Structure 1
């Protein structure tokens, strides 16, 4: 069977991260016939459960949230049309590390972390699992988090480290040749949010009288996952796939509720806020730009 000409690999920490950050991107490339592979590093076992009837699944009770979220992930991928989604090393190999908020309002490692937590994983062990995937899939483009993991979550930071280390080792022909032929990923992107778009969205939410969504944030006090536009390199905007993204977000029902932050202002507002996905190019040559002044195709120039 001939491999699709364009191949995209995304590396995320927990189920739901992919739909929030890259749902439109994934749906767009699937629809265009590209190969889209998602690797999720944990099952999100320590996630905050927002649905009362599922509270018994929590880590301090039945500890079965991970299995439930695996089902949510499968449903979300069905909404986006992604058929190749994998758990790093297999289900349960690396556990959600949990987190707490520090004095600066950033996520950081929790005081007590499970022995099998992804944050404590041997970096080479976890990386080797991803090297095998890279050499199998042979993606030209890899998407993951920035060095701060967007907002500091230890699993996001670890996913960033594993993704970059794996991309480097996958290209080294003398490293674990048993895992397949060496492959050099041409372009690596970090997901980002546009500062100008976030400010506009925040003002629109405040204009509805909502003062609790993104509480404590204002146009002059933006969270670390928001990036000033001058540092953005690419944007994916595909209005025809926004509803698929919103459906994928709703599939993660233990973590995302329709009356919560991500759907503040209603579905129309959510479509505006979450309809454009921005990226920073951190490896590779920037391709031709579109009317936006940014690359409008992550495969641009390849």
Structure 2
């Protein structure tokens, strides 16, 4: 069996970005570890917080519930402050993850990766999918941690979780053809995101498509665990299950050990890990 370490920016990112992969890995008998960089303090504040309960407390509890739904074996919180979206005052906080010393943060991640003797580490693409400062820092810290552990773990595979911009566009076009009216706030994956760049990655630059359709229900349960951020009226929970599976039943990655040539191959995170498959 092998070990998968997934590095994420905020509580709930694990569910949306790699939830299916983590559930699949756990069900196959692999060890799954989640590392969360920030406290998520700038998320939505629910009305039902107890007098002695902070939003950080709630979001950590929700992350543990999400982890249980996905079969995650270990959860580590690095407890940096959520940096907020680009341009927020929170960007300037001394303990904001976006301002974290690169080597200090990478050392903390590298220590976990070494301790777990990880076979696969997931991080984010170069602009964190949509340009959030904390997501960008996950990429930077993850890449630096990869350098730090390379001598100890020469076979570690590092893959960047991303979103397939072309697939999103195809899905939106199909929905429009079916008569769906997105209204004045229609999402445009080619439009500028938080950092001014389009959403995700062009399909031609993605190297791996992981089928997690059989784990879509588990993925949605993990999303639902983050009740402070995802209400019952959220489109994540309102979509029919077949539509949710169609939209979120594939998870997309850019592999550091493979060049993109003709778009993503259909495969699995452990395809190149010799000890990963049961006898």
**Which residue in the other structure is 2:5 paired with?**
9
User: Matched residue of 1:217: which SS?
Assistant: coil
Deviation, 1:154, is 1.0
Partner of 2:160: 190
Range 186-195 or range 128-137, more displaced: 186-195
Determine helix, strand or coil for the equivalent of 2:104: helix
Q: CA deviation at 1:263?
A: 4.1
Distance 1:216 1:78 in 2: 34
| 1:193 Cα offset (Å) | 2.0
1:53 partnered with 2:24: no
Q: Distance in 1 between matches of 2:258 and 2:189?
A: 32
Give the stretch that moved more between structures: 25-34 or 253-262.
253-262
Decide whether aligned partners of structure 1 residues 44 and 225 sit closer, same or farther in structure 2, where only a CA change above 3 A counts. same
Provide the C-alpha distance between the structure 2 equivalents of 1:40 and 1:34, rounded to a whole number of angstroms: 20
Q: Where does structure 2 lack aligned partners over 5 or more consecutive residues?
A: 274-279
Q: What is the Cα deviation at residue 115 of structure 1? A: 2.8
Q: What's 1:250 paired with? A: 224
Aligned with residue 16 of structure 2, among 7, 17, 20: 20
Give the counterpart of 1:72 among 57, 62, 66.
Answer: 62
Deviates more, 1:202-211 or 1:215-224: 215-224
Aligned residues: 266
Q: For residues 23-63 of structure 1, what are the alpha-carbon distances to aligned partners after superposition, in whole Å with 9 as ceiling and x for unaligned?
A: 110000100011111110112111123x4434x89xxxx88
The aligned runs of 1:63-212 (5 Å cut-off) are 64-88=54-78, 92=79, 94-99=80-85, 108-112=86-90, 113-172=92-151, 182-206=152-176, 207=178, 209-212=180-183
Matched, 1:278 2:248: no
Name the structure 2 match of 1:104. none
Does the Cα contact within 8 Å between 1:95 and 1:116 map onto a contact in 2? yes
Inter-partner Cα distance in structure 1 for 2:145 and 2:36: 14
Matched residues in 2 for 1:141 and 1:76: separation?
21
Which residue does 1:300 correspond to in 2?
271
1:273-301 superposed Cα distances (whole Å, 9 cap, x missing partner): 111101111x2247xx9xx9604111223
RMSD across aligned positions (CA): 2.7
- 2:47 and 2:22 map into 1 onto residues whose CA distance is 31
Compared CA separation, residues 220 and 10, structure 1 to 2 (3 A): closer
Q: TM-score, normalised by structure 1?
A: 0.79
Label 1:22 to 1:293 Cα distance change in 2 as closer, same or farther (>3 A).
Answer: closer
Distance 2:166 2:128 in 1: 21
Q: Which runs of 5+ in 1 are unaligned?
A: 100-107, 173-181
